[in-house]
Chains A and B, each alone.
Chain A
């Protein structure tokens, strides 16, 4: 029976193929053949009825075959699918489940750990969900549905333009546009999964629950990550709500202090909160100077972007990152085509530039931290990671090679990480004396009358449209930009955005922290321009992954000009360094967790706040916990339990264990103090910052 079926199936497949491939010619021949056959049949005295039936639908049977077999195949597939699905559901759950490694929660529960300190989770940029409360007619039926994160992103494919419109903020104010209200999804569901199956906080939450955490002592401080930090308070009272939640948890859990676990941008958001809560009312939360000492036990920063991320630069400058530029290199024309009039990048850029929060991620601390034209703290870093990921087995031999490469490489080719943006490869390598000096006077706009493509590309307007060709070329002629000049550059290319955002964020280093101007909220999220609060018992942890190449600086080029391509710059993905160089596809890499370089994540804990410094007057204890990245060994492991990458680290068992131990009462010394794999201490020492 089975063999017969298979045979039949083959026949159908064959016929299906023939229907399409042989085409009409064969059909005509078929017809003739048909007739002949029919003659023969009738001659053989077959029943007339059958003949009639055959003749009437003459054409039909042939057309039918193809459709029929299609139907048949689909039906066949569907039936098997349903059968399998049915069996799948019939199986007991335990049978099918991949024998998972028992998470740290189970093990620690056996050790006898129980929930002690309430835990506050502070999500980072992008991972928090957003839902619609009021929208334009095009967003009909999406009321209180997620526009971003959580469920599926199907709406993006269904009505992309509508979505972009709703996710954008007002370009002038950085708040809601008229008639649109998009708000953060509150509660744990706000950021447990970013997309179905793509966890963010879910693993951590699950493990915490194992030792007794639940709704009353676990809180997700969801906020609208598009807004500037102070604006979340002005519009949504997000900071007040967080304060009230922390106070409530502190009281209702028997006066146990709170352990805060911020991630990524949440780290600087929480830094802002700590400052805000102790500041007197009109601008701050009025909690009084002892609030942090009273309510907070530890701040466990995961993948902290204390000093910003270079990725934010490329995002703001040309709406692309490493990944995008790779794709562009592989399939040129996909993004750049204008056939559908989509102008994807322009629209994305326009949306992203309305988000103040991205500006908070621009590198902070200027040349002191990130290095100048010729020097950078990461100098001498060797990029062996690209190989490592390819051949894990030959790790030992690799190491030998590395040291060789290191020696040779150090002499001949230094990556100038300090030049965050350089135009053309030579500009990124040459000594600074050979480069044209970057003079801020260049950044004066030539007359705006030269606007050349303003009229036809109205919809996807970006500030680049207001720049003249001349000034665009002037920018490129300046060759290389460090972190300090970069800010000037951004002010030049996007003056309105920077004017709006710089009312909320500052990127410098404070000379004198007692200067009354530092009471303004725009300095609160910059660790180099605020003092930590007076809470000597508090602990600050910097927990991040290392061992993954992380974007550090870029080689740019002018993009080929066309009318509606209003982003005039793009990453020069044709630029590759030699073997062992950190330059690949126009991007210089340094050590980090794929998004945040080690320098940004670790410096404050390693040096800026270590001991009693001017940034940390009360001597809050700091600990660095680094987790070396190990890719998942098999597909079954999903995103890995030892991953070090920016988001996947939230599933890293070692990190989860650390958090749980601290949450159930351990101090930093009890969990082992510092745990360092990278060169962060050495790098920090090279940074010449008065403490």
Chain B
């Protein structure tokens, strides 16, 4: 600034004097900071000087704070642009080059490796995405969603969630009575491979697998993403969108256009159940089913490669339905108490989320199936004796050998009662069953509804229950898989009435019973037979080595109006019994316990059983979880986590080999790290066709 002034005299000499005066003033100002007569001296620009007061003596005296800020921002912008420019000018392979320079040469992605081996695209591939990972877009909405036509509400950037959360919740919810669209709102699944390749920018789901398949020659005509609206019950996707018919037609088209080669189906997570439902639907006669005839599956399907399949449900679904929370939320609540609970802004986040997710029928497909037979009773559970070594393993991988020794010691001392999926209080969870006094809640009177008037926005069925009902629930103390279903019926009768019309959670006694022709049994592997397709193969691919939620310790939440009356007791911790923050965990892939993912392939369908009358071959492929070695690897190429496993190179290689024509034996048969076979042995489930007089063992 001052140089400018100094230069001025050249052009305007008449001003020079005045300028010099001002120059003087400036220096006065700097020196005589706090002098009283400064103000008297400089009457011309009092405001300027006032502003400069209190600042440090600046080098360029005329620069105000604003200017500095602007200058600073300008600098940052320029640097930013420069970097951006450099980034864009950089060749695309540069990051890979850097990574390789640091970590040494990366292994070839499986697609490249197998292409070198000479593998080629053979069987067409069908992807069936799971819950939550599929994109949803708006086709018709309320006024508040204007401008979002055909924009993604789910998946993609999620920008709208932050902008208009209530509007978003409204559009994502379904009708509470029918489980279909609310009036005037149509949200539909995105179709095509884009539906579930990335869940959010940079967070891949199917993208890595697709990219690797493309390397050996797959493209749009040989791949198909069976996108469906994952909020609906399985049969409703057909009723509303004809999704099952479309999948049938597309599979037929794939087979026809690829020279009669059968498809390889790759379902993930809930897609596993969905496809189970599909296989049953497609062979059922026309009004309820697809009318494909009894040999449709054997004609069109080579293999079903299930990734992380919750065949028998996941305990996580219980926590989600019961109190709209899971491990993550419970931990967050423990860390910052009051943050999620306060009603100051009337956010009532959890209540909104709960109300929304309870309208989704599909969440009920994930409730644990098979009752006490599978998941264990009050005292016994198949996983008994499991230690939490895996958790520690993460911390010090080098000492695995030592641990193996200590493991046993720990296990003998105390074992968790995994069968008690929900218990109220830690003492209840640990006490022997004889010590627990339980008061049956089933007949309990719910009492008059509490807080029905004030919580207009976030009505959940809890508000119908009243205090007596809530108390009755807590009095029963502990719930096993059997009584859980009753519990849910008690706390959310409307939701469960909707849900039980579409799903069933039992074990069939006699599969010939005509009632099992109804579609609500089709997605439960314990209540349906596999199709008659002896040449088909069923794979179960899942990660192991991660602690997975299995049972919860609950407490009554301090009562406040409009809140959920139960919450996970995060104070309950026990190193020995895998209890942490109120959650018992077992081996699994962080979402699905090994038992649920592996049992059917390990025992339920192994050989010729009554669930698998044609003797479809089953294979278990487990992948031990190894966290990414460094940050550059992103989500890791050896991960075993529920979604990240889709980027696991070993899994991708298996999938590609199957798609290129390999059979299960050529792949290496079973590959097991967990104790799934031990645990399956412990489950006392009849597998022979005839009805026994009394159950053995």
Roughly how many angstroms separate A93 CA and B67 CA in the complex, as a whole number? Answer: 34
Known: A30-B3, A215-B188, A216-B246. A75 touches B146 (CB 8 A): no
Partner of A181 from B64, B91, B219 at Cβ < 8 Å: B219
Interface residue ranges of B366-407 to A (CB < 8 Å): none
**Residues of chain B contacted by A255 (CB below 8 angstroms):** none
Shortest C-beta distance, A129 to chain B (Å), equals: 12
Please judge, given known A-B contacts A216-B242, A248-B246, whether A37 and B6 are in contact too, CB under 8 Å: yes
Instruction: Give A78-120 interface residues, CB cut-off 8 Å to B.
Output: 78-79, 89, 93-94, 97
With A18-B7, A214-B139, A252-B242 in contact, do A73 and B74 touch (Cβ < 8 Å)? yes
Give the dominant DSSP class at B's interface.
helix
- Inter-chain CB contacts under 8 Å: number: 157
Q: Is A5 in contact with chain B by the CB < 8 A criterion? A: yes
Q: Does B413 contact A (CB under 8 A)?
A: no
Measured CB to CB, the nearest residue on chain A to B248 is A248
Residues 69-104 of B contacting A (Cβ, < 8 Å): 69-78, 88, 91-93
Neighbour of A50 across the interface among B27, B92, B146, B149, CB < 8 A:
B27
Most chain A beta carbons < 10 A, residue from B3, B62, B64, B194? B3
Segment 218-257 of A: residues with Cβ below 8 Å from B = 236-237, 240-241, 244, 247-248, 251-252
Which of A89, A143, A205, A237 sits near B221, CB closer than 8 Å? A237
B77/A74 in contact, CB under 8 A: yes
B631 within 8 Å of A (CB atoms): no
Flag if A29 contacts B10 (CB, 8 Å): yes
The winner among A71, A89, A206 for most chain B CB atoms within 10 A is A71
Residues A94 and B146 in contact in the complex (CB < 8 Å), given A8-B67, A18-B4, A30-B6: yes
The answer to whether A71 and B7 touch across the interface, beta carbons within 8 angstroms, is no
Residue of chain B at shortest CB distance from A252: B242
Which residues from 4 to 63 on chain A have a C-beta closer than 8 Å to any C-beta of chain B?
A: 4-5, 8, 11, 14-15, 18, 22, 26, 29-30, 33-34, 37, 41, 46-47, 50, 53, 61-62
Say which one of A133-141, A298-306, A370-378, A662-670 lies at the interface with B: A133-141
Q: How far is the CA of A68 from the CA of B77 in the complex (A)?
A: 13
Q: Is A183 an interface residue (CB 8 A)?
A: yes
Whether A72 touches B74, Cβ cut-off 8 Å, given contacts A47-B31, A93-B147, A188-B150, is yes
**A236 and B253 alpha carbons, distance in the complex (Å):** 12
Contact check, B4 vs A209: say whether CB atoms are below 8 A apart: no
| Least CB distance, A429 to chain B, in whole angstroms | 52
Q: How far is the CA of A210 from the CA of B30 in the complex (A)?
A: 70
Quick check: A72 and B70 within 8 Å, CB to CB?
Answer: yes
A209 touches which of B91, B140, B211 (Cβ 8 Å): B140
Bound together, the chains give a CA A62 to CA B253 distance in angstroms of 74
Determine the chain A residues whose CB is within 8 A of the CB of B188 once the complex forms.
214-215
In the complex, A189 has a CB within 8 A of chain B: yes
Distance in angstroms between the alpha carbons of A8 and B71 in the assembled complex:
13
A240 pairs with B256, CB closer than 8 A: yes
Tell me which residues across on chain B come within 8 A of A26, comparing CB atoms.
Answer: 7, 10
Asked if A76 is at the interface of the complex by the 8 Å CB criterion, the answer is yes
Complex Cα gap A275–B411 (Å)? 74
Contact check, B139 vs A75: say whether CB atoms are below 8 A apart. Answer: no
Task: Flag whether B47 is at the interface (Cβ < 8 A).
Answer: yes
Greatest chain A CB density within 10 A among B1, B186, B245 is at B1
Complex Cα distance A78/B186, Å?
A: 40
Whether A151 sits at the interface, judged by CB under 8 Å, is no
Do the beta carbons of B3 and A65 come within 8 Å of each other?
A: yes
Within 34-64 of B, Cβ neighbours of A (below 8 Å) are at 47-48, 59, 62, 64
Q: How far is the CB of B63 from chain A (nearest CB, A)?
A: 9
The answer to whether B1 and A240 touch across the interface, beta carbons within 8 angstroms, is no
A33–B163 Cα gap in the complex (Å)?
A: 58
B189 CB-CB contact with A under 8 Å: yes
Task: Tell me, yes or no, whether B214 is within 8 Å of chain A by CB.
Answer: yes
Given the contacts A215-B188, A216-B242, A244-B249, A62 and B221 also touching, CB distance less than 8 Å:
no
Taking residues whose C-beta sits less than 8 angstroms from the other chain, chain B's interface range is 35 or more
Instruction: Report the Cα distance A38→B88, complex, angstroms.
Output: 48
CB of A331 within 8 A of chain B? no
Known contacts A8-B67, A75-B74, A236-B221: does B192 contact A187 (CB below 8 Å)? yes
Contacting pair A46 B4 (CB below 8 A) = no
CA distance A93 to B241 in the complex (A): 31
B277 to chain A, nearest CB (A): 18
* A 194-212 contacts with B by CB, 8 A: 202, 205-206, 209-210, 212
- Chain A, Cβ-Cβ closest to B238: A252
Is B219's CB under 8 angstroms from A133's CB?
A: yes
Answer yes or no: A563 CB below 8 A from chain B CBs.
no
Size class of A's contact patch? 35 or more
- B31 in contact with A46 (CB, 8 Å): yes
Q: Which residues from chain B contact A339 at a C-beta distance below 8 Å?
A: none
B674 proximal to A (CB < 8 A): no
Hey, which chain B residues are within 8 Å of A209, CB to CB? 139-140, 149-150
- In the complex where A206-B149, A240-B253 touch, is A71 in contact with B75 (Cβ < 8 A)? yes
| Most chain B beta carbons < 10 A, residue from A1, A65, A74 | A74
A158 is an interface residue with CB less than 8 A from chain B: yes
A75-B7 in contact given A41-B27, A46-B31, A183-B220 (Cβ < 8 Å): no
Docked pose: A248 CA to B76 CA in angstroms: 57
Are B146 and A93 within 8 A (Cβ)?
Answer: yes
In the assembled complex, A161 has its CB within 8 A of some CB on chain B: no
Closest to B244 in A: A252
Cross-chain contact B211 with A143 (CB below 8 angstroms): yes
Interface residue B663 (Cβ < 8 Å from any Cβ of A): no
Residues from chain B with a CB closer than 8 A to the CB of A97 are 146-147
Chain A residues positioned under 8 Å from B150 (CB to CB): 188, 192, 202, 205-206, 209
- B257–A141 touching, CB < 8 Å: no
A236 to chain B, nearest CB (A): 5
Question: If the complex has contacts A215-B189, A215-B191, A237-B221, are A72 and B67 also in contact, measured as CB distance less than 8 A?
Answer: yes
CB <8 Å contact, A75 and B69: yes
Cα distance A53–B60 in the bound complex, in angstroms: 11
Of residues 198 through 239 on chain B, the ones whose CB sits less than 8 Å from some CB of chain A are 210-211, 214-215, 219-221
Is B66 interfacial (CB-CB < 8 Å)? yes
A sample of 10 more A-B contacts (CB under 8 A), given A134-B215, A214-B139, is A46-B31, A71-B78, A74-B78, A140-B91, A141-B92, A144-B210, A158-B88, A209-B140, A240-B256, A241-B221
Sort A-B residue pairs by CB-CB distance and give the 10 closest, nearest first.
A75-B74, A71-B74, A75-B73, A75-B70, A141-B92, A74-B74, A252-B242, A237-B257, A187-B192, A248-B249
| Between-chain CB contacts (< 8 Å), 22 pairs | A30-B3, A30-B7, A33-B6, A46-B27, A50-B27, A61-B3, A71-B75, A72-B67, A73-B74, A75-B74, A75-B76, A78-B73, A134-B215, A144-B193, A144-B211, A181-B219, A184-B220, A209-B149, A209-B150, A215-B188, A216-B242, A241-B221
